[in-house]
Amino acid sequence: MSEKFYITTPIYYVNDAPHIGHAYTTIAADVLARYFRAEGFDVHFLTGTDEHGIKIVKAAADKGVSPQELADEVVVHFQDLWAKLNISNDDFIRTSQARHEGRVQEIIRRLIERDEIYLGKYEGWYDEGQEEFVTESTARDNEYKSVISDKPLVRYSEPSWFFRLSKWIPKLIAHIETDSTFVQPTSRRNEVLSKLAQGVEDLSISRQSEKLGGWGVPMPNDPDHSVYVWIDALSNYITALGMPGIGDEFDAKGDKYWPADVHLIGKDILWFHAVYWPCLLMALDIPLPKTIFAHGWWTCEGKKMSKSLGNFISCEVLSELCGEYSRDAFRYFVLREVTFGADGDFSREAFGRRYNTELANDLGNLLSRTVNMIGRYFDGAVPKPQQRTLEGVEAEFLSEPIKHLQDESAKMMSRCRFSGYIGAALELASATNRYIDATEPFKLAKDPSQRERLGTILYACAEAVRIVLSYLEPFMPEKSAEGLAHLGVSGVSDGTLSERGRFGLIEPGTKTAKSVPLFPRKLLDQ
Ligand code: ME8
């Protein structure tokens, strides 16, 4: 039976349409899903929308519609964008779905049974944009405004159900300390640990339903209260799998895919995922996810994205960029430009430059050069090499980068080192370009006595490009398939990615197609 891989994105709020930030996390998750599928794993990839909470209630009221109407309208923008970006999710959960709501109530029932919640009173500050409780000292330090949106915090004073969060903190700290892969990257893990060391109080997990206009999941033991939107939202990672008797037996999907292998999130919501979620799971006696990876934040053209500044990368702008450069180039760029985990800046100029240098020049040119030479010198049939292994000059240029890809790609993917992984594939493309410059097949073609040698060189080039395109497939599924079709080797796609990444698989005599630029060069503004 194949090994499983369960990957999730955050479920996004439906108060507004998606933008580049949402696209970023979802593309990264898609790349992992495609990579692990290509390596033969049984992958389950979940994304969705977070539709409850005061933020949605207020956004709907501002638009004069009901929260459900707003959710129904906005969810389509997310689903359309994911289709546009070729996202291969296996499921899409909406927190207003009955399958989710019923299971959230089941989770609360279970917490009640285990004496994990009690009735108290919440008195304090709340950031309605973040749906987050704010301590007195943090509120004071930021002049009672949201650290994120700068909007005034709201004072809450109401009865509320509390989860005994503090009781689980020592166990959580021990887990984070012993399992270095649980919270990644390391800098974020250290941040969580140092904040935990300052002490954590029990967590208010319900809101008065009337304040939410009845929108949300009712507490099963107290219909005047709705479940706090973060408890509701975090639960999606298990409710989507189904869990009739949570903690005892999941249904078939739950049994198969839980625990999640990676919860991919932005750094803004790390605390919820690294503290509230594992403590809830421990209280429910459900195994913890293996990794929570918090990536960095995008600014655009050097500034925080804002509609009024005109630097907002909305779904319309994303569509336009994908139209101009191809969606694969966009997927590639966002994961190549910034080390995953660090903050980054999106600029059209940087996109254009990287597109031209890496995709049009290094990769696209290599493919056209190879296909054109095979066309011109061997009538469009991959020549027979002197040997189908790497020897001599071929080995000198190509062995090391191929070996590096084979040895390191799995490690890099499992640590979300997307840019490094792409870099390793590009290094093979560059090495192949250097190899062509050094061996000068265009000169050898003039000398009939060098025909065998020429065949060996072009065979090696075809194999190297095939390997590069195969490894880049999770990032650029369409361009990779197109490029492989130029080489005439779409058929060499049996087996796992690592198997396909071996040198010497193309059958001599394979007919190549006519080469058209895979990434046409762009004229960029100076
Ligand atoms: O927080 N740069 O939803 P949300 C990078 N519903 N990533 C960004 C980004 C940016 N500028 N802006 C947004 C919520 N993101 C909750 C989640 S999960 C159980 C509930 C991405 O719509 C990033 O992944 O505010 C961030 O964590 C997420 O969108 C926040 O999406």
Question: In ligand 1, which atom is closest to the CA atom of 50?
Answer: 6
CATH of the domain at 411: 1.10.730.10
Q: Whose CA is nearest to atom 13 of ligand 1?
A: 21
C-alpha 265 to ligand 1 mean position (Å): 7
pTM score: 0.96
| Residue 113: inside a domain | no
pLDDT (average), residues 140-157: 91
Q: Whose CA is nearest to atom 7 of ligand 1?
A: 21
Question: In ligand 1, which atom is closest to the CA atom of 305?
Answer: 11
Q: Which two tokens stand for residue 247?
A: 């903690």
Q: List, for residues 34-93, the tens digit of each pLDDT value.
A: 999 999 999 999 999 999 999 999 999 999 999 999 999 999 999 999 999 999 999 999
C-alpha 12 to ligand 1 mean position (Å): 6
C-alpha 234 to ligand 1 mean position (Å): 13
Residue 2 confidence (pLDDT) above 90: no
Backbone angles phi, psi at 215, to 5 degrees: -85, 120
pLDDT (average), residues 189-193: 98
Residue 248 confidence (pLDDT) above 50: no
| 22, 273, 276, best to mutate for ligand 1 pocket (most atoms within 8 Å of CB) | 22
Question: In ligand 1, which atom is closest to the CA atom of 10?
Answer: 18
| Residue 102: inside a domain | no
Predicted pLDDT at 247: 45
| Residue 297: inside a domain | no
Q: Whose CA is nearest to atom 26 of ligand 1?
A: 266
Residue 192 confidence (pLDDT) above 60: yes
| Residue 37: inside a domain | no
- List of long-range contacts for 125-129, beta carbons under 8 Å, 24+ apart: 125/153, 125/154, 125/155, 125/156, 126/153, 126/154, 126/155, 126/156, 127/151, 127/153, 127/154, 128/54, 128/55, 128/58, 128/154, 129/55
Q: List, for residues 330-374, the tens digit of each pLDDT value.
A: 999 999 999 999 999 999 999 999 999 999 999 999 999 999 999
Residue 169 confidence (pLDDT) above 80: yes
Question: Quick check: 405 and 469 in contact, CB under 8 A?
Answer: no
Listed residue (394, 404, 367, 514) closest to 457, CA to CA? 394
| Residue 425: inside a domain | yes
Which residues form the pocket of ligand 1, taking CB atoms under 6 Å from any ligand atom?
Answer: 10-13, 21-22, 24-25, 50, 233-234, 236, 265-266, 268-269, 297-298, 305
Q: Whose CA is nearest to atom 18 of ligand 1?
A: 10
Q: Whose CA is nearest to atom 29 of ligand 1?
A: 22
Q: Which two tokens stand for residue 236?
A: 């999606």
- The share of the chain scoring above pLDDT 90, in percent, equals 88
pLDDT (average), residues 378-397: 96
C-alpha 22 to ligand 1 mean position (Å): 6
C-alpha 375 to ligand 1 mean position (Å): 49
| Residue 204: inside a domain | no
| Residue 463: inside a domain | yes
Average pLDDT for the chain: 94
Residue 525 confidence (pLDDT) above 80: no
Listed residue (518, 496, 469) closest to 410, CA to CA? 496
Q: How many independent structural domains does the chain possess?
A: 1
Question: In ligand 1, which atom is closest to the CA atom of 299?
Answer: 11
Q: Specify whether the backbone of 112 is left (phi greater than 0), alpha (psi in -120 to 50) or beta.
A: alpha
β 291-295/4-13 pair status: unpaired
Predicted pLDDT at 148: 82
Which helix or strand (DSSP H or E) is residue 227 part of? strand 222-227
Q: List, for residues 472-509, the tens digit of each pLDDT value.
A: 999 999 999 999 999 998 755 678 999 999 999 999 99
C-alpha 427 to ligand 1 mean position (Å): 33
| 8, 12, 30, 74, best to mutate for ligand 1 pocket (most atoms within 8 Å of CB) | 12
Instruction: Domain of residue 432: give its range.
Output: 349-500
- The share of the chain scoring above pLDDT 70, in percent, equals 97
| Residue 261: inside a domain | no
